[in-house]
Amino acid sequence: MQEPLRIAFRGMEPPIGVEDAVRAHVADLEQYFDRITACSVVVEAHHRHQRHGRLFHVRVDLVVPGREIVVRRDPPEHQAHEDLPLAVRDAFNAVRRQLQDYVRSMRGDVKAHAEPTVGRIVRLFPDYGFLVTDTGDEVYLHRNAVVGAEFEKLTVGDRVRYTIHDGEGEHGPQASTVIPL
């Protein structure tokens, strides 16, 4: 990190071992992504409720190139957060998930969904049918692929929007989502 880790405790004395646990979590994040610019962690103890013990709120601000990841773990009256190490772990798990999403988007690994295309129904049977694409190819469709249980309403010649399922089934290319137009 370019800036030193900042850890603050509010409304409490720093419990033994918690600061070390925070440092270990940050070190794990740095192992995963070594371009973290800064990290700030605030652990806060809120007042005691009649029904519950002391609740801990954890906020983690992580700065990476082009983005700031902020996670707050302060669910009101959430009994699991009476355990400070658990609250810290939950906060850092959320930070890690967001950091993983950020790294995936930086690498261009974000999944692109296929654009739905339009076809026309050419044959129908009780539980399946076939549609024809713009290029004249036939695509198998099962009744479960039709959105909204509209299979019974389909007729030969109807236009539908569809998405091709990755890979081929036993009847060749298969539609995974079919929406009547």
- Tell me the pLDDT tens digit for each residue of 63-92: 999 899 999 876 555 555 578 888 899 899
pLDDT above 80 for 149: no
Whether 99 and 122 map to the same domain: the answer is no
pLDDT above 90 for 98: yes
Q: How confident is the model at residue 109 (pLDDT cuts 50, 70, 90)?
A: confident
* C-alpha torsion sign, points 105, 110, 112, 113: negative
Neighbour-count burial of 55, counting CB atoms closer than 10 A to its CB (0-12 exposed, 13-18 middle, 19+ buried): buried
Element (H, E) at 160: strand 159-169
The predicted pLDDT at position 99 comes to: 93
In a domain, 12, yes or no: yes
| Residue owning tokens 């992580």 | 62
Mean pLDDT confidence for 103-131: 83
Portion of the chain with pLDDT greater than 70, in percent? 88
Mean pLDDT confidence for 29-56: 82
| Residue owning tokens 């004249």 | 136
Q: 110 or 34: whose pLDDT is higher?
A: 34
Integer Cα distance of 71 and 160 in angstroms:
43
Whether 102 and 123 map to the same domain: the answer is no
Whether 142 and 94 map to the same domain: the answer is no
What are the angstrom distances between the C-alpha of 154 and each of 41, 43, 137, 146, 177?
A: 57, 59, 19, 9, 14
CATH number of the domain to which 37 belongs: 3.30.160.100
The predicted pLDDT at position 80 comes to: 57
With beta carbons less than 8 A apart as the criterion, state whether 68 and 61 touch: yes
The predicted pLDDT at position 113 comes to: 64
CATH number of the domain to which 146 belongs: 2.40.50.140
Residue 164: give the domain boundaries: 117-180
The pTM of this model reads 0.58
Integer Cα distance of 147 and 180 in angstroms:
8
In a domain, 14, yes or no: yes
